[in-house]
Amino acid sequence: FFTSLRNLKHFDCEEKQTLIDKARESSQDINWCINLIADYRIRLCCRSFTGTLLEYCADDMSCPVRKESRHNLSQMTFPQIEEVGSEDPPPEATPPKPPRKVLPDRTRAARDRANEKIVEFIVKAKGADEHLRAILKSEKESQWWKKFLKVSPHMTPIETYLEDDDQQERVVEYLKKVYREVVAKPLPFVTGDKFILDVLFPEAIIFAISAVDQIDYKKAEQKYIRGPVLSQREKEIFEEEISEKKRKQRLQAADPLS
């Protein structure tokens, strides 16, 4: 039979007892159904069965409960495994479509390859050295330095553009080297590592984006602040991971033994 989704309610809804009493007015078969569901739930908690309710009904494990019904109980059928060759398929039957193959998303890999050019420009070609040294010597203004001085020392907003940990590590290690070469002694009221992450890192990446993409500094800065543009597939994968994590949390909360 078919019914609208609006007619469906959770088995443990607030109206459960009212709905059961209403069903009993026309037939007592509802008691048999409830006993079947209760036994299925007990077996799930005891971990003696792990399948779905339909799989439980089709399994021999449910036979004792199913046989407890009255003799005049209307016949109820459950999924059965068809014997091979027992019956020819109807002429209009069509073979099921194969499941759609989900291809891996390669957008992240493409971004990492593009970002590798930025890393090489900074680390290998030393293309941002002059820009960074001018900032450290106060020969150039830096909005990131101004922002750094205004932000509380206990709250450091870290802008991320490079998604690969190895790429980030290589850039940071190189910036530490530049910092030590230019700054003879630590800057007043400044922690070296914090200054490198909050000022030199964004300045180096933005300058490299400007050079590699051949765009002006302002557009490169906007691209850096905007961050990587995720593909639709990446968003779907992320949502699937979140849904799966929530599902596991719900199962763990429902089963304290897990």
Shared domain check, 114 and 208: yes
Do 173 and 73 sit in the same domain of this protein? no
**Do the Cβ atoms of 111 and 228 come closer than 8 Å?**
yes
Quick check: is 96 in a domain?
Answer: no
Which of 61-75, 86-100, 106-120, 201-215 comes out lowest in average pLDDT? Answer: 86-100
- The span from the CA of 146 to the CA of 109, in Å, is 34
Across residues 138-160, what is the average pLDDT?
73
pLDDT, one tens digit per residue, over 100-141 is 555 556 788 888 999 999 999 999 999 999 999 999 988 999
Split into its structural domains, the chain has a count of: 2
**Which tokens hold the place of 79?**
């999924």
Summarize pLDDT for 24-51 with one digit per residue, the tens.
887 777 888 888 888 888 888 777 788 8
Residue 155, sorted as left (phi over 0), alpha (psi -120 to 50) or beta, turns out to be beta
Q: Is residue 239 part of a domain?
A: no
User: Residue 157 contacts by C-beta under 8 Å, 6 or more apart in sequence?
Assistant: 151, 198
Q: Which domain holds residue 205?
A: 107-227
pLDDT of residue 71: 46
Evaluate whether residue 3 is within a structural domain.
Answer: no
In terms of phi and psi (left: phi > 0; alpha: psi -120 to 50; beta: otherwise), the region of 195 is alpha
> Are both 17 and 72 inside the same structural domain?
yes
Query: Do the domain assignments include residue 36?
Result: yes
Q: Is residue 101 part of a domain?
A: no
8 A C-beta contact, residue 138 and residue 189: no
Does residue 89 form part of some domain? no
Least confident of 5-14, 16-25, 136-145: 5-14
User: Looking at the structure, do residues 17 and 60 belong to the same domain, yes or no?
Assistant: yes
